[in-house]
Chains A and B, each alone.
Chain A
């Protein structure tokens, strides 16, 4: 069965420092992969998505993610974190005919 694992429940990063949020998935083929962000009391906003092609995808707000088939990973990165990036981040996968399957999420705190 498909699954998504986000190993880090909570991460704290200094403002201006780089960020990497980990995501591992379990799926037989190459799935459709997504990263969403959720601010407190809000819905989910799509940051970026990977379907095929270039394994490094660019998203909104300066985020990027790299798909690595050999490691079954789709890690999210940002070179310089801003205080406004503090939120909860969800990695998700989807295959044809099914719904989005989400990881448990990683809460990002940004320290000054």
Chain B
């Protein structure tokens, strides 16, 4: 069974641009979460989608947005990029919502803002 697929793996963008990252969850999984990982802040939760609805949102500015499609694939968008947005963005999929549901992570998209 294929794992969580994130595309692209690497991105270099210029400050002020916008970027869209994609995540394809494991087949049958309906919950997708996004995390930002930086050396200084560690792993921070961005948002969670389940059945095309945002269920949870972390403490990030409105420049960070996401959506989930009917096939459970998800995208996150960052507008007006700042240098501080450089990070590894990880997507995790789960069969369903719930605290005990195991989250499977993709390999991440490494975003560099110059």
In the bound complex, do residue B90 and residue A97 qualify as a contact, i.e. CB atoms below 8 Å apart? no
Q: Which of B11-68 contact A (CB under 8 A)?
A: 33, 35, 42-43, 45, 48, 56, 58
- Is B98 positioned at the interface, with any CB of A under 8 Å from its CB? yes
- Is A8 positioned at the interface, with any CB of B under 8 Å from its CB? no
- Give the nearest-CB partner of B6 in chain A: A43
Residue count of chain B within 8 Å CB distance of chain A: 21
Give chain B nearest CB distance to A67 CB in angstroms. 14
B81-114 Cβ-contact flags toward A at 8 Å (1 or 0) = 0000000001010000011101111111000000
Q: How many A-B residue pairs have CB under 8 A?
A: 51
- Please name all residues of chain A whose beta carbon is closer than 8 Å to the beta carbon of B105 when the two chains form the complex: 36, 43-45
- Please name all residues of chain A whose beta carbon is closer than 8 Å to the beta carbon of B45 when the two chains form the complex: 99-101
In the bound complex, do residue B90 and residue A44 qualify as a contact, i.e. CB atoms below 8 Å apart? yes
- Is A84 positioned at the interface, with any CB of B under 8 Å from its CB? no
Interface secondary structure of A, over-half rule: loop
- Give the nearest-CB partner of B91 in chain A: A43
Interface locus among A16-24, A72-80, A88-96: A88-96
In the bound complex, do residue B99 and residue A95 qualify as a contact, i.e. CB atoms below 8 Å apart? yes
Which residue in B42, B90, B98 is a CB contact (below 8 Å) of A43? Answer: B90
- Is A11 positioned at the interface, with any CB of B under 8 Å from its CB? no
In the bound complex, do residue A102 and residue B99 qualify as a contact, i.e. CB atoms below 8 Å apart? no
Given contacts A99-B48, A99-B56, contact A46 B102 (CB under 8 A): yes
- Give the nearest-CB partner of A95 in chain B: B99
Ordered by A's residue number, 22 sampled pairs between the chains whose C-beta atoms are within 8 Å are A32-B99, A42-B107, A42-B108, A43-B4, A43-B90, A43-B105, A43-B107, A44-B90, A44-B92, A44-B105, A46-B103, A49-B102, A90-B43, A95-B99, A97-B56, A99-B45, A99-B56, A100-B33, A100-B103, A102-B42, A105-B42, A105-B43
